[in-house]
Structure 1
């Protein structure tokens, strides 16, 4: 009988989290990219992204050739450093970026986005997939 769960020996990232919890956040890819929910519905896609502390003007959303790209910039508050000594800084400051391929059957002209309370919501409607016309080929 083992007292250590078998999974813990094989999950290196979990072992690393427990051994060095503060270092993991500096090298984790998730820190540099927002948390995303991507839901496919019958009539389109709904994408929600958590962007806490980001201003609406610092967000760039682009859709081209079926690929959706979300970019955001979180800027440092310089005034805070002038008024006191920074003892610990864990909040990420820099550029966030995520991209997804949604396919060619999306209406690029009818995409809507909103930003409320640090959550970006993007609605991407689909178009009816047209079947290619079949053509009979004569054999000679």
Structure 2
């Protein structure tokens, strides 16, 4: 809240850069309460491999689907509350329920052969490509 009001520095009236950075941060929140996993999608020739860093997310909270050439990765982590929460005296409480959903267009893969593994907070998805039909020789057509 203190950044909203002008401040006096060295007897010079200045306005914080809140307004200057408004459009730079327009689509991204200022704090760390909203996080998306960092994802790499690599073309290995015979397969696509997606690797996503998802620290602190349980395997049971991850949902992965493939439909209409779209790979969808989502997760929901609920902050559990019980009766003892009222008895705790937090000095700082930043953890809360979070969720995200990301989609990646991936076509030409064997839908039934997609495999995923999750270890040490890293999700790896192997998407084998469909065998491409060999291209036939190009026939030149004479224009009359």
TM-score by length of 1: 0.67
Aligned to 1:24: 30
Q: Which has the higher contact order (CA 8 A, sep 6+)?
A: 1
Distance 1:51 1:92 in 2: 16
Q: Where does the alignment leave 5 or more consecutive residues of structure 1 unmatched?
A: 1-10, 17-22
Return structure 1 stretches of 4+ with deviation > 4 angstroms.
131-135
Distance 2:32 2:93 in 1: 11
Q: 2:106 aligns with which of 102, 105, 108?
A: 102
More helix by share: 1
Query: In the alignment, is residue 81 of structure 1 matched against residue 69 of structure 2?
Result: no
Distance 2:48 2:93 in 1: 36
Query: In the alignment, is residue 117 of structure 1 matched against residue 123 of structure 2?
Result: no
- 1:25-49, CA deviations, whole angstroms, 9 ceiling, x for partnerless residues? 257xxx3422111111101111111
> Is the Cα–Cα contact under 8 Å of residues 65 and 73 in structure 2 kept in the other structure?
yes
Distance 2:110 2:87 in 1: 49
Structure 1 window deviating more from structure 2 (80-89 vs 50-59): it is: 80-89
What is the root-mean-square deviation in Å for CA atoms of aligned residues? Answer: 3.1
Larger Rg: 2
> Is the Cα–Cα contact under 8 Å of residues 39 and 52 in structure 2 kept in the other structure?
yes
Query: In the alignment, is residue 46 of structure 1 matched against residue 25 of structure 2?
Result: no
Q: Where does the alignment leave 5 or more consecutive residues of structure 2 unmatched?
A: 1-19
Report the CA distance between 1:83 and its aligned residue. Answer: 4.3
Aligned to 1:67: 70
Aligned to 1:3: none
Partner SS state of residue 81, structure 1: helix
Partner SS state of residue 30, structure 2: helix
Report the CA distance between 1:63 and its aligned residue. Answer: 0.6
